[in-house]
Amino acid sequence: MSEKIDLKRRRLLQAASAGMALAAAGPAFPIILKRQSFGRPKREATATFFPDVEIELVAAPGKVQILPGPATRVWRYTARVVKGDPDAVIPIPDTYLGPILKFRKGQRVRITLHNRLPAKFITHWHGMHVPFEADGHPSYAIDPEETYVYEFTVENRAGTYWYHPHTNMVTGAQAYSGLAGLILVEDDEENEVPLPRGEYDLPLVLQDRTFDETNQLLYDRRGPIAMLGFLGEKILVNGHPDFTLNVASRSYRFRVLNGSNSRIYKLAWSDGDSITVIGTDGGLLERPVTRPYLMIGPGERYELWRDFSKSKGKEVRLESQEYHGIMPPLYERFRRSGGSMMGMGGMMGGGMGRGGRMGSMGQRGGMGGMMGTQTISGPEGMMGTIGPMMLMARHIPQGSHFTIARFRVTEKPRTLDNQELPAKLRPLPQLSLDDVVNPDKPRPIAIGNHGRQFTLNGQAFSMTGALPIETFPVNTIHLMEIFHEHGGMEMEGEHGGESEHGSRQSMQGMGGGMSMAMMMAMVHPIHLHGHYFQIVRRTPPEAGGMHGSSEGYETVKDGLVDEGYQDTVLAMAGERIQLIKPFDKYKGLFLYHCHNLEHEDGEMMRNFKVV
Q: How far is CA 462 from the centre of its chain?
A: 21
User: What's the pLDDT at 329?
Assistant: 74
Helix-, strand-, coil-residue percentages of the chain, each rounded to 5: 15, 35, 50
As a whole number, mean pLDDT of residues 333-360 equals 50
Q: How far is CA 363 from the centre of its chain?
A: 20
In angstroms, the CA 46 to CA 412 distance is: 50
As a whole number, mean pLDDT of residues 360-367 equals 37
In angstroms, the CA 360 to CA 377 distance is: 10
The closest of 107, 102, 56, 108 to 77, measured between CA atoms, is 56
Q: How far is CA 577 from the centre of its chain?
A: 19
pLDDT in tens, 567-593: 999 999 889 999 999 999 999 999 999
Domains and CATH numbers, the chain: 9-189 (2.60.40.420), 193-422 (2.60.40.420), 433-610 (2.60.40.420)
Q: In what order do the strands lie in the sheet with 490-491?
A: 490-491, 504-506, 497-498
Question: Which range (267-281, 313-327, 422-436, 514-528) has the least confidence?
Answer: 514-528
Question: Which range (140-149, 327-336, 533-542) has the least confidence?
Answer: 327-336
Q: How far is CA 507 from the centre of its chain?
A: 32
Question: Which range (19-23, 34-38, 287-291, 398-402) has the least confidence?
Answer: 19-23
- Which residues, in sequence order, are bridge partners of residue 514? none
CB atoms within 10 A of CB 468: 8
In angstroms, the CA 171 to CA 119 distance is: 12
Long-range contacts of 332-335 (CB under 8 A, 24+ apart): 332/399, 332/548, 332/552, 335/397, 335/398, 335/399, 335/400
The closest of 456, 463, 512 to 488, measured between CA atoms, is 512
Tell whether the torsion through CA atoms of 594, 597, 603 and 606 is positive or negative. positive
**How does residue 8 score in pLDDT terms, banded at 50, 70 and 90?**
very low
How many contiguous H segments (helices) and E segments (strands) does the chain have?
11, 36
